[in-house]
Amino acid sequence: MRESGGGGKFSRLTRAHIERTLTYQVLMVADVADLLGLSVRTLQRRLANERTSFSALLDDCRRARALEHHAEAHVSVRTLSKELGYSQSSCLSRAMRRWRQP
């Protein structure tokens, strides 16, 4: 389920929490489920009903943030990868290649 949908209530709430908490931490579905007062499984089920998933929303938020910072030449790949919660710069590089694919 790669499609990010994003039009439903829980997709919007989840995306908002991801965007607020993404900076400099590894974000897990359990973190966002707790913020929303839901179990992980309930959040996953509700997102699936909206034709998306936590990982698709997280990937979309990371992509948007990476594109924002890409315009800022002074931001290094290493700094950006840490900000987006990637464990290594190579993970961000792989994601960027994936995002460029049609």
CATH number for the domain including 49?
Answer: 1.10.10.60
Question: What pLDDT is stored for residue 73 in this prediction?
Answer: 66
Range of the domain at 29: 9-100
Q: How far apart are CA 23 and CA 62, in angstroms?
A: 10
Q: How far apart are CA 57 and CA 5, in angstroms?
A: 9
CA 10 to chain centre: 14
pTM of the predicted model as reported, rounded to 2 decimal places? 0.76
Q: How does pLDDT run across 56-91, given as a tens digit for each residue?
A: 999 999 888 888 876 666 778 888 888 888 888 899
Residue 46 or residue 101, greater confidence: 46
- Cβ–Cβ < 8 Å for 14, 62: no
Q: What are the DSSP E strand ranges found in 19-65?
A: none
Q: How does pLDDT run across 11-41, given as a tens digit for each residue?
A: 999 988 888 887 767 788 999 999 899 999 9
Is a pLDDT exceeding 50 seen at residue 1? no
CA 32 to chain centre: 11
Domains: count for the chain: 1
User: For residue 91, is it within any domain?
Assistant: yes
CA dihedral 44, 23, 101, 98 (to 10 degrees): -80
